[in-house]
Amino acid sequence: MSDTPDIGAIRSSADLLAVARVMDERSAERYRELAVAFEMSCNIDTAAAFHELADDEDRHMAEFPVPAGAVPAGLPWGEQDPEIADPDAVHYLMHPWHAVDLALRHEERSLAFFVLVAESSTIAEVRAEAARLAERERGHVALIKARREALPLPPDDWDEDQDPPNWEASD
């Protein structure tokens, strides 16, 4: 994460679990949006990869209780949610390997967030829950790494469009 998140609003393990759930909800939503965009671009294999990633996030989210109260106001990272894919890292010709690599980078950022909370919170129950969530996130990182390693590497020229748009006006 580029800026250090403000973890002061996380005052209990329930707050932290609510934040973790929101992270998974947002990433599932973003991966589904990307899947639809890739379907529209006729990049079906990468669309399928993003659908699988969204389904993974749904399963992760289901592990958390529905928050009894509101998610802490002012999420710790502002608009820079660690699990939401960076739109600048997306290219319409990317391969499934790229989609999984993008997810890996964001899982690693989520891990860094939970480690930061575990090391920085002044509240013992929050530190303990963050340490548990960091361990859980380490498992997600390992799974995503294994998935990426199982995929074929894209060719070096993967982003070269063999049929680029023709912007010349016809007469």
Q: Does the pLDDT of residue 63 top 80, yes or no?
A: yes
78 or 133, which is more confident: 133
**Residue 29's closest CA among 70, 68, 67, 84?**
84
In this structure, is residue 30 part of a structural domain? yes
Model confidence at 81: pLDDT above 90: no
Which two tokens mark 152?
């074929």
pLDDT at 75 (0 to 100): 61
Provide the pLDDT for residue 88: 74
Residue 166 lies in a domain: no
DSSP readout, the chain?
Answer: --S----TT--SHHHHHHHHHHHHHHHHHHHHHHHHHHHHTT-HHHHHHHHHHHHHHHHHHHTSPPPSSPPPSS-TTTT--TTSPPGGG--TT--HHHHHHHHHHHHHHHHHHHHHHHHH-S-HHHHHHHHHHHHHHHHHHHHHHHHHHHSPPPPTTTT--SS----SPP-
Average pLDDT over residues 78-97: 74
For residue 162, what pLDDT band results from cuts at 50, 70 and 90? confident
Tell the residue number behind the tokens 């947002």, with chain if given.
Answer: 26
**What's 90's domain CATH number?**
1.20.1260.10
Report yes or no on 37 lying in a domain.
Answer: yes
- The whole-chain average pLDDT of the chain stands at 86
Tally the domains of the chain: 1
In a domain, 170, yes or no: no
- For residue 104, the model assigns a pLDDT of 94
Residue 160 lies in a domain: no
* 3 assigned to some structural domain: no
pLDDT, residue 23, reads: 86
Higher pLDDT, 22 or 6: 22
pLDDT of residue 163: 73
Residue 142 pLDDT exceeds 50: yes
Whether pTM > 0.85 for this model: the answer is: no
Look at the alpha carbons of 74, 64, 124, 115 in this order and tell me if their dihedral is positive or negative: negative
Q: Is residue 140 part of a domain?
A: yes
Asked if residue 72 is part of any domain, the answer here is no
Of 88 and 102, more confident:
102
Give pLDDT tens digits for 115-128. Answer: 999 999 999 999 99
Question: Rg for the chain (alpha carbons), in Å?
Answer: 18
* Percentage of the chain modeled with pLDDT above 70: 81
- Gap between the Cα atoms of 108 and 83, Å rounded: 9
Range of the domain at 83: 13-66+78-150
**Burial bucket for residue 15 (CB in 10 Å: 0-12, 13-18, 19+):** buried
**pLDDT reading at 155 higher than 70:** yes
